[in-house]
């Protein structure tokens, strides 16, 4: 790694980041930024380090036994090296995350609304304020606020993923880490969730790090794309450019692996 | 009746009457629960409903010694003339109560240790589980016997001795559950939301891993009663005149032929109680089993 002083700016800026398990280095990223109201796609095959990178941004990499060094800045504030206490205030509140399988991302013993209002209360909202904000957020993701009275098992996968996004909205998160948020959903629901993410970027200027191995989805949604392989970013640039005129042999390989319907080009 | 899914949901998440439907679909649970309820009622009102309440204690009736079951003494009388029915009824206050205290103590120790081991992992897990393994290495009855033999013979010692061999099973059970729940995405989601570890443990890990323990507890009531009776039978627990069922069986065995009723009725009480709690436990397990859930 060349430790340089090249300033990486943006809402979320990662430089010189390395993640290790013991002596094995799994991720080494130098220079990845996410701007205000931008959707950045992070693509790559399984095991390329996409999810480890999100865990590191959340400050949770140590929970799976990894060591993180380097710099992760949120609006210029350094996150690596912050105490767990300080990080807890940032997680959820400023950086929210949604996960691959929404049906397992909610504790089955509580009502959806309870989960939402508790999370809001945790980050300083009063009870009535929390209820109002949760209701507003539900409307914003085009869900009936009534659904907050239901248990997670009574909602569909698409609805739950919207609730997860609503929670990020209610928390007024600036950065949303979306780790394969549509992989477990069927295609029509997937399209709705993608529309929703696009809307949020427009309406509240949310910055979204969209992690996916599905290049078709990345091409459709993202402004810029970073392609990861074996923990390194092999190519990064505007989505159109990277996906239509890839420079890196791995990107070309990855694009060729996307199945095409006969007759379409 | 089949419920059709509707757009606007019913307010109650679990349909009302689900418990009753569960009971009807599972008659053994109803029987077990009914008998357990009966035992509890007898235990509470024993001094009032027992025909000869004083016989539960030190009373002696020289002219009533070893009488066979009759209209006056349904279960007969023992070697000092005490009414066995009365003693069996009051006995419902001895070993079942011991069982409850033992299981409460075992849960009090086992649940926190199990959750700590399963959720925290690492060296905490290692230390807790190795200590647990040491206790599990001994046959439970033998270890309880050794402990009870060292302590002065009393009901308190008996309770402590049994509780000391019972908790490791709950640590095991809960550790497995907690570890599996800790790996579920919603716990990760909690962390990503900045929720504290304590809150994750109490609100997310515990409610999602406690069910098997509740079931195990109800199954274990029978087991503890049998263990307590065995120890009392060996003279390590209750002492005469306490009307403990195990002790009554022990004292009655000298008279077993021809005076069979001394042993039979307290023995039946042990059998029925242990069996009823087992049915209850089995039924609860079926009720809570998501694959055979009646709550859907």
User: Facing residues of B83 across strands?
Assistant: B77
Least CB–CB distance from B9: residue in A104, A123, A149: A149
Domain assignments of chain B as residue spans, ordered by start = 25-91, 95-237
Cβ pair A177, A96 in contact under 8 A: yes
Q: Is A97 on the interface with B (CB under 8 A)?
A: yes
Return the closest-CA partner of residue A167 out of A135, A191, A198: A135
ipTM (interface predicted TM): 0.71
Distance CA B17, CA B210 (A): 23
What element of type H or E holds B191? helix B185-192
Q: So what's the pLDDT on residue B18?
A: 66
Q: So what's the pLDDT on residue B62?
A: 84
Least CB–CB distance from A154: residue in B9, B191, B199: B9
* Residue whose tokens read 């069982």: B99
For chain A (265 residues), the mean pLDDT of every run of 10, in chain order, is 51 91 90 91 87 89 87 90 87 88 88 92 89 93 92 91 92 91 86 91 92 87 92 89 86 81 58
Cβ pair A24, A231 in contact under 8 A: no
Q: Is A99 on the interface with B (CB under 8 A)?
A: yes
Positive or negative, the Cα torsion across A94, A17, A28, A38? positive
Q: So what's the pLDDT on residue A258?
A: 76
Question: Nearest 5 degrees, angle CA A19-CA A54-CA A181?
Answer: 145
Q: So what's the pLDDT on residue B15?
A: 54
Higher-pLDDT residue of B54 and B173 is B173
* Residue whose tokens read 């515990």: B206
Burial class (CB in 10 A: 0-12, 13-18, 19+), A35: middle
Cβ pair B260, B69 in contact under 8 A: no
Name the minimum distance, in Å, from the CA of A112 to any CA of chain B: 11
Chain B hits for A92, Cβ within 8 Å = 192-195
Least CB–CB distance from A105: residue in B185, B195, B208: B185
**Does B8 sit within 8 Å of A97, measured CB to CB?**
no
Distance CA B171, CA A227 (A): 46
User: Facing residues of A224 across strands?
Assistant: A40, A238
- Is residue B219 very low, low, confident or very high in pLDDT (cuts 50, 70, 90)? confident
Interface test with A, best of B119, B123, B194, B214 (most A CBs within 10 A): B194
Name the minimum distance, in Å, from the CA of A91 to any CA of chain B: 5
- Token readout for B172 is 């095991």
Q: So what's the pLDDT on residue B295?
A: 45
**Residue count (chain B):** 296
Q: What is the pLDDT of residues B239-264, one digit of tens each?
A: 888 899 988 988 888 888 889 999 99
**Residue in B with minimal Cα distance to A120:** B193
* Ramachandran quadrant class, B157 (left: phi over 0; alpha: psi -120 to 50; beta: rest): alpha
- Is residue B293 very low, low, confident or very high in pLDDT (cuts 50, 70, 90)? very low
**Does A107 sit within 8 Å of B208, measured CB to CB?**
yes
Q: So what's the pLDDT on residue B9?
A: 43
Return the closest-CA partner of residue B276 out of B236, B213, B212, B226: B226
- Is residue B291 very low, low, confident or very high in pLDDT (cuts 50, 70, 90)? low
Q: What is the pLDDT of residues B174-203, one digit of tens each?
A: 999 999 999 888 898 888 888 888 889 998
| B149-161: average pLDDT | 90
**Residue in B with minimal Cα distance to A149:** B11
Q: So what's the pLDDT on residue B10?
A: 43
**Does B13 sit within 8 Å of A146, measured CB to CB?**
no
**Does B13 sit within 8 Å of A88, measured CB to CB?**
no
**Does B194 sit within 8 Å of A60, measured CB to CB?**
no
B117 has a pLDDT exceeding 50: yes
Distance CA B46, CA B40 (A): 10
Q: So what's the pLDDT on residue B233?
A: 85
- Token readout for A142 is 């085009």
Q: So what's the pLDDT on residue B6?
A: 46
Domain at B95-237: CATH code? 1.10.3720.10
Distance CA B198, CA B21 (A): 37
Cβ pair A237, A225 in contact under 8 A: yes
Question: Which runs of E-coded beta strand occur in A45-157?
Answer: 67-74, 77-78, 95-98
Name the architecture of domain A12-256: 3-Layer(aba) Sandwich (3.40)
B226 has a pLDDT exceeding 90: no
Cβ pair B177, B118 in contact under 8 A: yes
3-state secondary structure of B290: helix
Return the closest-CA partner of residue B162 out of B173, B151, B176: B151
Q: So what's the pLDDT on residue A104?
A: 87
């Amino acid at each position: 790694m060349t430790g340089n002083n090249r300033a990486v700016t943006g809402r979320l800026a990662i430089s010189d980041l390395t993640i290790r398990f013991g002596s094995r280095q799994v991720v080494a990223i130098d220079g990845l930024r996410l701007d205000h109201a931008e959707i950045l796609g992070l693509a790559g095959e399984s095991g390329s380090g996409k999810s480890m990178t999100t865990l590191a941004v959340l400050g949770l990499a140590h929970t799976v036994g990894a060591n993180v060094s380097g710099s992760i800045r949120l609006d210029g504030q350094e996150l690596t090296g912050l105490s767990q206490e300080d990080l807890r205030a940032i997680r959820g509140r400023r950086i929210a995350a949604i996960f691959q399988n929404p049906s397992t991302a909610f504790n089955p013993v509580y009502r959806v609304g309870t989960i939402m209002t508790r999370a809001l209360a945790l980050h300083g909202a009063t009870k009535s304020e929390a209820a109002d904000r949760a209701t507003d957020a539900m409307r914003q993701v085009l869900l009936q606020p009534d659904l907050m009275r239901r248990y997670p098992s009574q909602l569909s996968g698409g609805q739950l993923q919207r609730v997860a996004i609503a929670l990020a909205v209610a928390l007024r998160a600036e950065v949303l880490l979306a780790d394969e948020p549509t992989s477990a959903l069927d295609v029509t629901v997937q399209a709705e969730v993608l529309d929703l993410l696009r809307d949020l970027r427009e309406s509240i200027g949310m910055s979204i790090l969209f992690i996916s191995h599905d290049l078709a989805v990345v091409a459709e949604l993202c402004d810029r794309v970073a392609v990861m392989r074996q923990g390194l970013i092999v190519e990064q640039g505007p989505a159109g450019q990277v996906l239509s005129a890839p420079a890196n042999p791995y990107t070309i390989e990855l694009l060729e692996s996307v199945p095409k319907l006969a007759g379409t080009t | 009746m089949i419920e059709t899914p509707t757009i606007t949901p019913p307010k109650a998440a679990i349909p009302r009457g689900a418990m009753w439907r569960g009971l009807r679909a599972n008659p053994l649970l109803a029987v077990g629960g009914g008998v357990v309820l009966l035992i509890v009622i007898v235990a509470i009102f024993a001094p009032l409903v027992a025909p000869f309440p004083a016989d539960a204690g030190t009373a002696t009736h020289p002219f009533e010694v070893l009488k066979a079951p009759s209209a006056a003494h349904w279960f007969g009388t023992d070697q000092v003339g005490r009414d066995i029915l009365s003693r069996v009824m009051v006995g419902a206050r001895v070993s079942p109560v011991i069982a409850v205290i033992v299981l409460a103590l075992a849960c009090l120790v086992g649940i926190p240790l199990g959750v700590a081991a399963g959720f925290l992992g690492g060296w905490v897990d290692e230390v807790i589980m190795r200590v647990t393994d040491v206790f599990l290495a001994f046959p439970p009855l033998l270890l309880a016997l050794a402990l009870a033999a060292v302590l002065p013979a009393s009901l308190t010692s008996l309770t402590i001795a049994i509780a000391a061999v019972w908790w490791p099973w709950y640590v095991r059970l809960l550790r497995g559950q907690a570890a599996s729940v800790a790996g579920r995405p919603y716990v990760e989601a909690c962390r990503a939301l900045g929720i504290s570890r304590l809150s994750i443990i109490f609100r997310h890990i515990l409610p999602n891993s406690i069910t098997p323990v509740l079931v195990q507890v109800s199954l274990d009531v029978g087991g503890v009663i049998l263990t307590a009776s065995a120890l009392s039978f060996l003279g390590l627990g209750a002492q005469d005149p306490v009307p403990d069922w195990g002790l009554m069986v022990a004292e009655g065995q000298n008279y077993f032929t021809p005076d069979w009723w001394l042993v039979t009725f307290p023995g039946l009480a042990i059998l029925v109680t242990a069996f009823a709690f087992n049915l209850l436990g089995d039924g609860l397990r079926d009720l809570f089993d998501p694959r055979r859930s009646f709550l859907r």
